[in-house]
């Protein structure tokens, strides 16, 4: 038996072979600890968002005042040297 492959119709390579069907792809299995990790993240975000704005603002203002005092004291110590 002789098969002549030169005369068969060729498809462009990007179309693939018409005789081979593609298997449907399955979604990738996620890790078993998704609920645990997601739960930790969710709890952290809830705690972060639950802090009132005035508390955050007060802490930021306190840090700014502390930096100014530190900068002023270091400047004063350099001037006395």
| pLDDT digits 0-9 by tens, 3-45 | 666 655 655 555 555 555 666 677 666 655 556 888 889 989 9
The answer to whether residue 77 is domain-embedded is yes
CA-based max dimension of the chain: 106
pLDDT value, residue 21:
60
pTM of the model: 0.39
Contacts of 17 (CB under 8 A, 6+ apart): 11
Give the span between the Cα atoms of 55 and 68, in whole angstroms: 20
The answer to whether residue 60 is domain-embedded is yes
The answer to whether residue 39 is domain-embedded is no
Give the span between the Cα atoms of 10 and 8, in whole angstroms: 6
The answer to whether residue 32 is domain-embedded is no
Query: Cβ of 62: how many Cβ atoms within 10 Å?
Result: 10
């Amino acid at each position: 038996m002789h098969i002549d492959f030169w005369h068969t119709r060729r498809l462009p390579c990007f179309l693939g072979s018409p005789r081979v069907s593609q298997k449907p792809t399955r979604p990738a299995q996620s890790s078993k600890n998704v609920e645990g990790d997601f739960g930790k993240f969710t709890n952290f975000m809830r705690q972060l968002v639950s802090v009132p704005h005035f508390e955050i603002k007060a802490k930021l203002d306190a840090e700014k005042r502390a930096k100014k005092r530190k900068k002023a004291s270091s400047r004063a110590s350099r001037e006395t040297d």
